[in-house]
Amino acid sequence: MAKGLSAAQRRAVTGSDPATGRLSARADVCAGLAARGLAVPHGRAGHHSFYLSPEGLRLRAELAAAPTPDGDEPAKAAEVPPGGGFVADLGTADAPRPGDGVRRRAEVAVAWEGLLQIRALLLDGATDVPAPWERERRAHAVALALEAAGCPPGGPDRAGYTVAEAAAQAGVIEVGWRGPAAPADQARALAECARLLESHGWQSTRHTDRSGRAFLLASPRHA
């Protein structure tokens, strides 16, 4: 699949955003990949971006697993996006998060748009259920869905959601609410989280632990 690609095209594929597949290369490089069926434009005419197609995503995986030119070790795929890549906010940080405000909202909007594009490409046009990529990175995907829906992530200086792998149930994500609030207020906040998750492709159920703390258990909704 990689045969015939230029060095610039290879770099564009391997350097695409790990979370969304969005390309950051020159327009002519992106257009060349699109002509090969490895990328697709998305957005309004004249203002669109390019994202890897399913074939492009498969090629990226192949290139990541290929031996390096000077050794036998395959290139290791990054679990965390490198500098410039989008990182979901799980709401569990102990220090105030830099970059709040307009810039962060724009980053979240772009990441969510890219994720919808991945859903449409991999799920025959459907965007209302999570794609395979999301199912492999569930905490990241749930946090992105909540923040994209306008729900604030928790922090030491603000109330908001928290997202973590559920300790007692593999493959399920625990969503909690962090910050000073009366139990009734926390219950309303979690109910809103459940509603937002439902509208963004995730199903959830409400639970209470032995201390009385309420939380949600979320999993991908099936088509």
CA 206 to chain centre: 23
> In this structure, how many other beta carbons lie within 10 angstroms of the beta carbon of residue 83?
4
Task: Report pLDDT digits (tens) over 5-43.
Answer: 999 999 999 998 876 788 989 999 999 998 998 988 876
Question: pLDDT value at position 47?
Answer: 54
Per the structure block, which two tokens stand in for 111? 């990441």
* pTM summary value: 0.69
CB contact at 8 A, 195 and 203: no
The 10 Å CB-count burial string (b at 16+, else e) for 43-76 is: eeeeeebbbbbebbbebbeebeeeeeeeeeeeee
CATH number at 1-85: 1.10.10
Please state the rounded mean pLDDT for residues 188-195. Answer: 96
pLDDT at 217 over 50: yes
Question: pLDDT value at position 28?
Answer: 92
CA 163 to chain centre: 13
Task: Report pLDDT digits (tens) over 160-186.
Answer: 999 999 988 888 999 999 987 788 889
Please state the rounded mean pLDDT for residues 108-112. Answer: 87
**Which has more pLDDT, 127 or 99?**
127
Q: Where are the domains of the chain?
A: 1-85, 102-220
Task: Report pLDDT digits (tens) over 145-159.
Answer: 999 999 999 988 889
The number of residues in the chain equals 223
Per the structure block, which two tokens stand in for 1? 């699949």
pLDDT at 220 over 60: yes
Whole-Å CA distances, 153 to 26, 48, 97: 34, 29, 10
CB contact at 8 A, 130 and 200: no
Whole-Å CA distances, 116 to 6, 103, 165: 28, 20, 23
Q: Concatenated DSSP letters for 31-79? A: HHHHHTTSEEEESSTTS-EEEE-HHHHHHHHHHHHSBPTTSSSBPPPPS
Question: pLDDT value at position 30?
Answer: 92
Confidence of residue 100 (pLDDT cuts 50, 70, 90): low
Task: Report pLDDT digits (tens) over 73-92.
Answer: 444 333 334 334 678 999 99
Average pLDDT value over all residues in the chain:
83
Please state the rounded mean pLDDT for residues 34-61. Answer: 78
